[in-house]
């Protein structure tokens, strides 16, 4: 299932894997599609992946196939602690993609356990961010030099983070502000 709308010059990529948090993938996916963006979902393989609450999707490409230069925004959602976030954070190419977005000062949005990948990519030193407050995520963020805050959404330059699915309205409000800035360039 290719998740694109009309021809657009704006593209986002979502890095995830099996056992993702359904709302944290589909809410940004649908909202960006609604805004006219092309959104590719990248996973470790092109095999169908499933969410915690029973929704499934077919990835558009593998994480290995992602060329960060082709995209304007990176989204890293969460999921079961031993599911998608644990899988994605261990993939060297996912870490390289994440680092590439930070090096280019391109927007990155991550929620729940997704910031584990940011910590693993060593891009949070001195940055303010939030995440799920349990499962060792704040500790890993702090160990990587991040400044962890318990807020529904934290914006630090090109980085937007939130804690969990109930923060999605605040998360997407800030993501859509980044979308507006990108589209005005």
The residues that are catalytic are 113
Helix or strand holding residue 89 (H, E): helix 84-89
Residue 125: partners with Cβ closer than 8 Å, 6 or more residues away: 144, 145, 146
Q: Is 63 exposed, middle or buried (0-12, 13-18, 19+ CB in 10 A)?
A: buried
DSSP assignment letter at 133: S
Helix or strand run (H / E) with residue 174 = helix 168-184
Q: Which residues pair with 14 in a beta bridge?
A: 41, 75
Query: Nearest 10 degrees: CA dihedral of 98, 29, 172, 124?
Result: -10
> What token pair was written down for 107?
């927007």
Q: Which residues make Cβ contacts (< 8 Å) with residue 21, sequence separation at least 6?
A: 51, 52, 77, 78, 79, 80, 84, 111, 112, 113, 165
């Amino acid at each position: 299932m290719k998740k694109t709308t009309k021809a657009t010059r704006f593209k986002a990529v979502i890095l995830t894997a099996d056992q993702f948090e359904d709302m944290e993938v589909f809410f940004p996916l649908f909202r960006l599609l609604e805004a006219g963006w092309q959104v590719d979902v990248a996973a470790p393989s092109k095999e169908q992946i499933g969410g915690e609450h029973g929704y499934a999707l077919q990835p558009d490409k593998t994480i290995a196939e992602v060329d960060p230069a082709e995209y304007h925004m990176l989204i890293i959602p969460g999921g079961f602690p031993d599911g998608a976030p644990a899988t994605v954070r261990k993939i060297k190419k996912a870490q390289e993609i994440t680092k590439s977005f930070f090096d280019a000062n391109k927007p990155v949005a991550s929620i729940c356990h997704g910031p584990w990948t940011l910590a693993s990519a060593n891009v949070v030193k001195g940055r303010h961010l939030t995440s799920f407050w349990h499962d060792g995520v704040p500790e890993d963020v702090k160990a990587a030099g991040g400044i962890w805050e318990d807020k529904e959404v934290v914006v630090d330059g090109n980085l937007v983070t939130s804690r969990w699915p109930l923060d999605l309205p605040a998360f997407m409000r800030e993501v859509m502000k980044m979308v507006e800035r990108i589209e005005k360039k």
